[in-house]
Amino acid sequence: MSDRILIFDTTLRDGEQSPGCSMNLAEKVGLARQLEKLGVDIIEAGFPIASDGDFEAVKAVAKEVRGPIICGLARTGEADVERAGQALDGARAPRIHTFIATSDIHLEHKLRMNREQVLAEVDRAVRQARGYVDDVEFSAEDATRSDREYLVEIFTAALEAGARTLNVPDTVGYTTPDEYGDLIRYLIANVPDSGRAVFSVHCHNDLGLAVANSLAAVRAGARQVECTVNGIGERAGNTSLEEVVMAIKTRPDVCNGADTGIATQEIYASSRMLSSVTGVAVQPNKAIVGENAFAHEAGIHQDGVLKAAITYEIMTPESIGRKSNELVLGKHSGRHAFKDRLAELGFDIEGEEFQRAFKRFKDLADSKKVIYDEDLEAIVADSSIDSDDRFALESLAIQSGTSGKAHATIKLVVDGVARETTASGVGPVDAIFKGISDLTETESELDRYQVHAVTAGLDAQGEVSVTIHEAGRRVVGHAAHEDVLVASGRAYVHALNKLEWHRKRKPVEEPKGI
């Protein structure tokens, strides 16, 4: 058995399904490029039948990102598989990932099908998928609550029909490491000709065991791990890519010498890019990529690390591409230095977007003495342009204080036409948001407003995240600026543009059951 573990990244599919993590097309393609740099083997770029937006995203990623295998998800239904096949047309290395639930709980309550019907469906869907692509993955949804003997029948059928990756999802995050490892061993031992397939694992983190379960599966012979950057995903999330990869790298002795093809020095840039695109921050004590993951606070630890890093450090920050807050650029830095530093941080921006970012950098360097990597990331996130954007904030002026209401005068461009209004509110943010809602004629509801300083110092940029929803769709907008009120206005406009993007691409059919 090979020792190489394939990393299947589903940040753009299972990850994107989690609240507040929706991304637009440009964001998905940008992230897919970073995943390619990170060295993932497979990118699951979306669920093409779920919406026109997902279809377009899979198509665009397949066209732009040529290194990894690009995968599209499909239920076993004919229309699903066909749509996935169409979205992947033109990919260098396409994969269709088809799935159906196999637990009696799902068969009875969700699918209302019997075991024979599901078995026939697996055979049909995998053969149909093989009509489009050579590389087909089959998943038995809710495998960890399915009857083991029935699972053997299901995977045998999928293998015979032409699937070469057999995925064993712990859909509801129910299993434990011993049990899961045992299941993988059982399947490998009992599916006839199992050596022709790669056994894959896909864990959810409901009991906080997703990474531990994935590692147990690797020890048991699984050779593909499905995971997401920062562990984002449905409910408590999916297996965190950075955690599982660094565990395999740090402890090959307990992983039977297994290794991945991940360029671990790209991990931190990938994590930061995802957070800045979605506006969903990583908790400070998150393993590997959290703010405190390498911070030794206790005196006794600091003393030990200074004497010999090995005393308390099991891996180095550099191994995941993490540098300390260093002064990177100043007000005299030119375009080249700026571009080079962005490239080191994983951002490859061109044209108008680059010009905007450079101007923002120069403006910031005029008012802020020290520019950190975090500032640059915030600038890039704030400068991304989507030509589809309906709204752009031109300017705002605020009047507020200790007495009376706050007033905001706002100039906005809506569909290319300049509009202006003055609105009042209980505070300046309320006034800004009311004015923007009036000008854009939108009626979304605000779920959450967050602001945090990008770096230390009184002259730090404020990064604002605004979560809003409308008609069941939740999005997060974000922006950074030295003036938190300007950042607030921009973040709100960013969120509204995202809602517009989704509105234009209404779901074709609401996917059920995942």
- Contacting positions for ligand KIV (CB under 6 A): 14, 99, 139, 141, 167, 169, 171, 202, 204, 514
Distance CA 120, CA 16 (A): 31
Minimum separation from the CB atom of position 493 to ligand KIV (A): 33
Minimum separation from the CB atom of position 42 to ligand KIV (A): 13
- Give the footprint of Zn ion on this chain (CB under 5 A): 14
Choose between 99 and 338: whose C-beta lies nearer to ligand KIV.
Answer: 99
Choose between 204 and 286: whose C-beta lies nearer to ligand KIV.
Answer: 204
Tokens 């939740």 correspond to 474
**CB within 8 A of 333, min separation 6: which ones?**
365
Nearest to 417 by CA among 382, 392, 441, 384: 392
Choose between 125 and 514: whose C-beta lies nearer to Zn ion.
Answer: 514
DSSP codes of every residue in 363-423: HHHHH-S-B-HHHHHHHHHHH---TT--EEEEEEEEE--SSS-EEEEEEEEETTEEEEEEE
Residue 498: name its binding partner from ligand KIV, Zn ion, none (Cβ under 5 to 8 Å by kind).
none
Residue 22: name its binding partner from Zn ion, ligand KIV, none (Cβ under 5 to 8 Å by kind).
none
Minimum separation from the CB atom of position 340 to ligand KIV (A): 39
Residue 141: name its binding partner from Zn ion, ligand KIV, none (Cβ under 5 to 8 Å by kind).
ligand KIV
Minimum separation from the CB atom of position 204 to ligand KIV (A): 6
- Which SS3 state, helix, strand or coil, does residue 447 take? strand
Residue 501: name its binding partner from Zn ion, ligand KIV, none (Cβ under 5 to 8 Å by kind).
none
In degrees and rounded to multiples of 5, residue 184 shows phi and psi of -65, -45
Minimum separation from the CB atom of position 143 to ligand KIV (A): 8
Distance CA 25, CA 299 (A): 47
Choose between 14 and 389: whose C-beta lies nearer to ligand KIV.
Answer: 14
Choose between 14 and 54: whose C-beta lies nearer to ligand KIV.
Answer: 14
Residue 44: name its binding partner from Zn ion, ligand KIV, none (Cβ under 5 to 8 Å by kind).
none
Residue 378 and residue 276 in contact, taking contact as beta carbons nearer than 8 Å? yes
Specify the DSSP element, H or E, that contains 69: strand 69-75
Nearest to 496 by CA among 472, 452, 466, 453: 466
Which residue number has the CB closest to Zn ion? 14
Residue 454 and residue 463 in contact, taking contact as beta carbons nearer than 8 Å? yes
Residue 28: name its binding partner from ligand KIV, Zn ion, none (Cβ under 5 to 8 Å by kind).
none
Alpha helices for 135-266 (secondary structure H): 148-161, 177-190, 210-220, 241-250
Residue 75: name its binding partner from Zn ion, ligand KIV, none (Cβ under 5 to 8 Å by kind).
none
Distance CA 72, CA 56 (A): 11
In degrees and rounded to multiples of 5, residue 218 shows phi and psi of -65, -45
Residue 465: name its binding partner from ligand KIV, Zn ion, none (Cβ under 5 to 8 Å by kind).
none
Choose between 234 and 374: whose C-beta lies nearer to ligand KIV.
Answer: 234
Choose between 487 and 514: whose C-beta lies nearer to ligand KIV.
Answer: 514
Specify the DSSP element, H or E, that contains 86: helix 78-87
Minimum separation from the CB atom of position 401 to Zn ion (A): 50
Minimum separation from the CB atom of position 12 to Zn ion (A): 13
Choose between 102 and 384: whose C-beta lies nearer to ligand KIV.
Answer: 102
Choose between 18 and 270: whose C-beta lies nearer to ligand KIV.
Answer: 18
DSSP single-letter state for residue 431: H
Minimum separation from the CB atom of position 141 to ligand KIV (A): 4
Half-sphere exposure of 495 (CA within 13 A, CB side): 33
Residue 139: name its binding partner from ligand KIV, Zn ion, none (Cβ under 5 to 8 Å by kind).
ligand KIV
Q: How far is CA 167 from the centre of its chain?
A: 20
